[in-house]
Amino acid sequence: MDVIYYLFAGAVAVAAGLASLAIWAPRITRVRLIALALATLFIPVAYGMMAELLSKPKPMSLEWFERASEEALVLGIDLDEGRAIHLWLRLSGVGAPRYYVVPWNVRLAEKLEDAADDAVRRNGAVVLRKPFMKRSLEDLGDLNVEVVLPPRPPLKMPRFPPRIINPREFKI
């Protein structure tokens, strides 16, 4: 969400630049006032648009900033059969989860559903490897879905307190 402030500031700067061009342009006053009013109206419209987009899923094909992510932990899956697949992902290196949507693909839906069932059975997690690679709609079914198991506890407990090793005892 921190990026939205910069995007809004950029939109305001562009509107201000266009308004200043319109004011100083050699046109009749009525045209300049209309241009100034339109630039002023653009600012609340841009704010409302960005605020409205916060709750909508982002198409995975439009992810530009995190395109280099190597993996994403799948936190939730919603299959809207025939329409779309909604994914709630936690990207590696990003704190907050993100909400994405991909077009409906039967192979991908089956793969995600099987992986989720397997992860529940084995007490693991579903991970997507390279989730934002450039793919066509037909290749979405080839998305790399894996089940990652939690780390096993150590078989032998470490000694406590640890033994201190004197380097002078060792001969080379």
pLDDT per position as a tens digit, 32-85: 888 888 888 888 888 888 877 777 888 888 888 888 888 889 999 999 999 999
Q: Give pLDDT tens digits for 134-149.
A: 666 555 556 777 788 7
Residues pairing with 146 in the sheet: 127
Map residue 123 onto helix, strand or coil. coil
Residue 38, pLDDT score: 86
Least-confidence region, from 4-8, 82-86, 127-131: 4-8
Pure H helices in the chain: 2-24, 29-53, 106-122
Cα end-to-end span (Å), the chain: 58
Residue 85, pLDDT score: 92
Q: If you average pLDDT over every residue of the chain, what do you get?
A: 81
Average pLDDT over residues 162-169: 65
Least-confidence region, from 2-6, 11-15, 20-24, 104-108: 2-6
At 7, the pLDDT band (50, 70, 90 cuts) reads: confident
Residue 141, pLDDT score: 56
What does 18-44 look like in DSSP terms, one character per residue? HHHHHHHSSS-HHHHHHHHHHHHHHHH
Q: What angle in degrees, to the nearest 10, is found between the helix axes of 29-53 and 2-24?
A: 170
Residue partners of 116: CB distance under 8 A and separation at least 6:
74, 77, 126
Q: Which pairing describes strands 125-129 and 144-148: parallel, antiparallel, or unpaired?
A: antiparallel
Cis peptide leading into 158, omega within 30 of 0? no
CA distance 158 to 152: 15
Residue 159, pLDDT score: 65
Residue 49, pLDDT score: 82
pLDDT at 86 over 90: yes
Task: Count the Cβ atoms, other than its own, within 10 Å of residue 98.
Answer: 17
Does domain 59-148 bear CATH number 3.30.450? no
Task: Count the Cβ atoms, other than its own, within 10 Å of residue 59.
Answer: 12
Residue 79, pLDDT score: 92
100 exposed, middle or buried (CB, 10 Å; 0-12, 13-18, 19+)? buried
